[in-house]
Amino acid sequence: MTPKEEFRILSTTAILGYGFPRTSFEAGMARKPHLIAVDAGSTDPGPYYLGAGVSFTDRGAVKRDLEIMLKAGISHKIPVVIGTAGGSGAEPHLAWCREIIEEIAREQKLRFTMTIIHAELSKDFIRDEFKKGKITPLEPAPALVEEEINATSHIVAQMGLEPFLAALDDHPDVILAGRTYDPVCFAALPIKEGYDRALSLHLGKILECASICASPGSGSDCMFGYIGKDYFRVEPLNPARKCTTLSVAAHTLYEKTNPYILPGPGGHLDLHETQFEQETENIVRVRGTRFIPGVTNTVKLEGAKPIGFRTVSIAGARDPIMIAEIDRIIRGVKERVADNFQGTLENYHLRFNIYGRDGVMGNLEPHPGTAGVHELGIIIEAIAPTQGQADTICAFTRSTMLHYGYEGRRSTAGNLAFPYSPSDFHAGEVYVFSIYHLLATEDPAALFPRETVRL
């Protein structure tokens, strides 16, 4: 293959385990892809999954997707590449996904080689790099302190192209990688084959979310990409969807703060001269994207630490007088809780999320207030060092708010409606991102050890 021929990529789904129609997958296979790839993770679901070492996608759903991909890829000798295994890409996630692949290989009697790329870094290594001054904050994270390193459960580095290019030297049938910069699992092979780095990464940026770039968009449907010498094309594989210049350009800006600069490991994509052209009714051609190398090599570090346990209670309120006074009532309830546990249980966090007013945007809500609101959904969240303490704070807060007296109240039977019994739910251990920083490195591939196994 040479860059004169189009390189063809089948992206199966936005995240491994989100699913895809078999008809879309078969339409992609009919186009004879050179690569089948999928991104399996994200930080979008929050820090819990990284900290706890569990996947946010269901095992059965992941196995279903992988079984279809592996059987097709191996039988047609098409490489299958999986990025950010298990959702967060730390060692427990990588082992979880590897176990699923090995199970499929046994059940389906598949024979293939698989290269595994590790992304979790030890605390000792991070402490050493921290002391050398090689770790800097990634806005808006604060400067790192050693105490945060010690408290963190898992620390991963987000790998760029270099570990994948090294792995591809061995020509594995399958690559299973830990935490990965999303576009790389789509872009590495075409770049290795001589295709333009900028266009390959830009296409990877779009393909990593599969059909979300189409109209109507979907995170559980396939997308197909073609890379030529100075362009790439994207095509949905479901006749119900179309790619338009608007949908593809809009998705290019997805999750970015600057519409022209898309940063990533090793540099950034420059979109100042990027052009989006409607080639057919449902295919868009893109050209003009450039890659600007960074001054230094850095990788993003992600780490999560536990901070306690959470108990939640869900309730509704419909009294217009209570709705109008909700802020004053919440202040009064918080004061009552603080007074009741003064000197006995003070290390807790109590939060009210009010849906119907500002539950989605919180302090960023551009139209605050309760004018015109006829009902509110109230989520009471208590976090404390132990589950029992969180239960105590949540239960007391719930009962206090249920019978809290406010001026104008006509009924004393209770202020809240509870959709469930029991009304309080254990949400388990709570994590926060404790490390969200950049690590300077001279050799980005050396951070990510590889192993190859034959199944």
Q: For residue 130, which amino acid is it?
A: F
36: confidence class by pLDDT, cuts 50, 70, 90: very high
- pLDDT tens for each residue of 155-208: 999 999 999 999 999 999 999 999 999 999 999 999 999 999 999 999 999 999
What b/e readout covers 43-73, taking b as 16+ CB neighbours within 10 angstroms? Answer: beeebbbbbbbebbbeeebbbebbbbbbebb
Position of tokens 């591809």? 168
Give yes or no for residue 94 having a pLDDT over 90.
yes
Domain chopping of the chain, boundaries = 7-302+435-454, 319-416
DSSP state of 242: B
Burial class (CB in 10 A: 0-12, 13-18, 19+), 233: buried
- pLDDT tens for each residue of 285-294: 999 999 999 9
- Mean pLDDT for all residues in the chain: 95
Handedness of CA 140, 143, 144, 145 (dihedral sign): negative
Give yes or no for residue 300 having a pLDDT over 80.
yes
Least confident of 38-52, 257-271, 387-401: 257-271
- pLDDT tens for each residue of 409-442: 887 889 999 999 999 999 999 999 999 999 999 9
Average pLDDT value for residue range 251-278: 92
Q: What pLDDT was estimated at residue 97?
A: 98
Q: What is the pTM of this model?
A: 0.93
Beta bridge pairs of residue 376: 317
Average pLDDT value for residue range 335-349: 96
Average pLDDT value for residue range 230-249: 97
The SS3 call for residue 83 is: strand
The SS3 call for residue 175 is: strand
What b/e readout covers 266-288, taking b as 16+ CB neighbours within 10 angstroms? Answer: bbbbbbeebebeeeeebbbbbbb
Neighbours of 408 (CB within 10 A): 10
359: confidence class by pLDDT, cuts 50, 70, 90: confident
DSSP per residue over 417-428, as a string?
A: B-SSSS-EEEEE
Give yes or no for residue 250 having a pLDDT over 80.
yes
Give yes or no for residue 2 having a pLDDT over 70.
no
223: confidence class by pLDDT, cuts 50, 70, 90: very high
Non-local (6+) Cβ contacts of 366 within 8 A are none
Average pLDDT value for residue range 370-381: 88
In angstroms, rounded to a whole number, what is the distance separating the alpha carbons of residues 43 and 46? 6
Q: What pLDDT was estimated at residue 259?
A: 87
Q: What pLDDT was estimated at residue 236?
A: 98
Give yes or no for residue 91 having a pLDDT over 70.
yes
Q: What pLDDT was estimated at residue 3?
A: 66
Average pLDDT value for residue range 9-38: 98
